[in-house]
Amino acid sequence: MTQLADSGIGDLRTTIGGAVVAPADPGYDDARKVWNATIDQRPAVIVQARSVEDVSRAVGFARENGLEIAVRGGAHSPGGACTVEDGLVIDLSRLNQVTIDPVAKRARVGGGALLGDLDAAAQQYGLAVPAGMVSHTGVGGLTLGGGMGWLTRKFGLSIDNLVSAQVVTADGRILRAAEDENPDLHWALRGGGGNFGVVTEFEFHLHEVDPMVRFGLLFWELDKGPEMFRLAREVIAKLPREVNIVIGGLNAPPAPFVPEEHHFKPGYVMIVTGFGEAEEHEQVLDELRLSLPPLFEFATPMPYVALQQMLDEANAWGQHTYDKGTYLDDLTDDVIEVLTDQLPRKQSPLSVMLFYRLDQAYSEVADDATAFSGSRAPGYALFLVAIAPTSELLAQDRAWVRSFWTALQPHSRGIGSYVNAISDEAADDRVRASYGAKYDRLAAIKTSYDPDNVFHRNANIKPA
């Protein structure tokens, strides 16, 4: 395939406005590098698109030359879906423009923009889109799978706020997908992942979010785990809509607000973020700290953009990563027993367990309104993330993630999960289970827009 691609790369360069990078070119190794250091693929050609027309021509070139296609936005795919061995990578990172209409409360976002690009542009007007928690994540990959984070309880998922999308399909067409145009494609893009084409622009509805939010972090040692989870279950059940709590199992960071004697200590954390009145946020913190005094805590007002960047360093480029996820209805005593038994078994101080609460605005959207891979019933999305500085240490925590996930299955909503947390090879059963009754509808739409399964480097939905 490489020889076939090489013979036409010169012609490709004359038709593409952006750079075309081949293995012999300077900068190739930098251009092929992705976030997860475990992934080491050598594409035959990388097209750094600067326009939607570049993307269309790249798709056509790949198909004419029999090259497998990978689509790269933020390059954050833990499983390496954003690159491909001996194939063609469509790199959208130059399509990173963000345009804000503060009157209409709309954002137009290039398919290669990062969350940090969107956050910074929208917050100039006191606005935001619900999105993820790591600012160097790509808007595209995150959104197409769903997009959950700090604002999910208040404003829903990213896809619940997706007004329209510009898409390059497998036959090179450039389409608009919205409720009034190609509505089947619009439905499928909202949760169906990268199965239906290359999204080169997103249009989002924006919400008012004060540039300053309220932040509180409380940390408990490992032996307080059962009490902490039971307290979290009680407090989260009555949590105001303006407040969100993320629960984590991790090692205390060597941050200035952590007493030095507790640096790297394993334990449990509740991060309490308030988007409303200060009193409301403080009431939640008071209940937590008085009911179960933490080992240490830290509370302060914080810029929203800083909140969005808080996990950036812990998820920095160049580390070895593996993850799995599942859904849980509640923090039952049986679930708590598994959590507190499994968490201490991790080896890397960077590996984490994270719970996102899913309710309120998230649950006000009907199950079949979007293609999202999960029930809209209140519950939790759990992420088990192995992060390590070396491949040897990753191997140990990869086994920890898999064992942990297996132990939770009798208590979860089944083998299905949020598709952005499906990075295993041969994950067909999990993909089908994740979409449930929606899978057949998605497969039919896949047949309409990508009958040859050109876009299959994802949580793949096969054509009907």
How would DSSP label each residue in 394-430? HHHHHHHHHHHHHHHGGGSS-S---GGG---SS-HHH
Whether the per-residue pLDDT at 341 is higher than 80: the answer is yes
Whether the per-residue pLDDT at 163 is higher than 50: the answer is yes
Every domain of the chain and the residues it spans: 2-91, 98-209, 212-421
Whether the per-residue pLDDT at 121 is higher than 70: the answer is yes
Give the distance, in angstroms, between the CA of residue 155 and the centroid of all CA atoms in the same chain: 17
Looking at residue 448, its amino acid is S
Looking at residue 435, its amino acid is Y
Q: Which range is least confidently modeled, 21-35, 40-54, 425-439? A: 425-439
Q: For the chain, how are helix, strand and coil distributed in percent, rounded to 5?
A: 35, 25, 40
Whether the per-residue pLDDT at 388 is higher than 70: the answer is yes
Q: Percent of the chain having pLDDT more than 90?
A: 95
- Stretch 340-363: mean pLDDT: 98
In which band, very low, low, confident or very high, does the pLDDT at 1 lie, cut at 50, 70 and 90? very low
Name 158's Cβ contacts closer than 8 Å, sequence gap at least 6: 129, 130, 131, 142, 143, 146, 147, 148, 204
Provide the whole-model pTM.
Answer: 0.96
- Stretch 242-266: mean pLDDT: 96
In which band, very low, low, confident or very high, does the pLDDT at 428 lie, cut at 50, 70 and 90? confident
**CATH fold match for the domains 2-91 and 98-209:** no
In which band, very low, low, confident or very high, does the pLDDT at 4 lie, cut at 50, 70 and 90? low
**What pLDDT is recorded for position 3?**
53
CATH 3.30.43.10 is held by the domain 2-91: yes
Q: 8 vs 19, which has greater pLDDT? A: 19
Question: pLDDT averaged over the chain?
Answer: 96
Q: Which residue in 203, 292, 281 sits closest to 242, CA to CA?
A: 281
List, in sequence order, every beta strand (DSSP E) within 226-265: 243-251
How does pLDDT run across 181-229, given as a tens digit for each residue? Answer: 999 999 999 999 999 999 999 999 999 999 999 999 999 999 999 999 9
Whether the per-residue pLDDT at 44 is higher than 70: the answer is yes
Q: CB of 39 within 8 A of CB of 83?
A: yes
Looking at the structure, give the CATH architecture of the domain made up of residues 98-209.
2-Layer Sandwich (3.30)
How does pLDDT run across 443-452, given as a tens digit for each residue? Answer: 999 999 999 9
CATH code given to domain 212-421: 3.40.462.20
- Stretch 376-405: mean pLDDT: 97
Burial class (CB in 10 A: 0-12, 13-18, 19+), 125: middle
- Stretch 311-324: mean pLDDT: 96
**What pLDDT is recorded for position 239?**
97
Going 23 to 29 to 34 to 37, the CA torsion angle's sign is: positive
In which band, very low, low, confident or very high, does the pLDDT at 284 lie, cut at 50, 70 and 90? very high
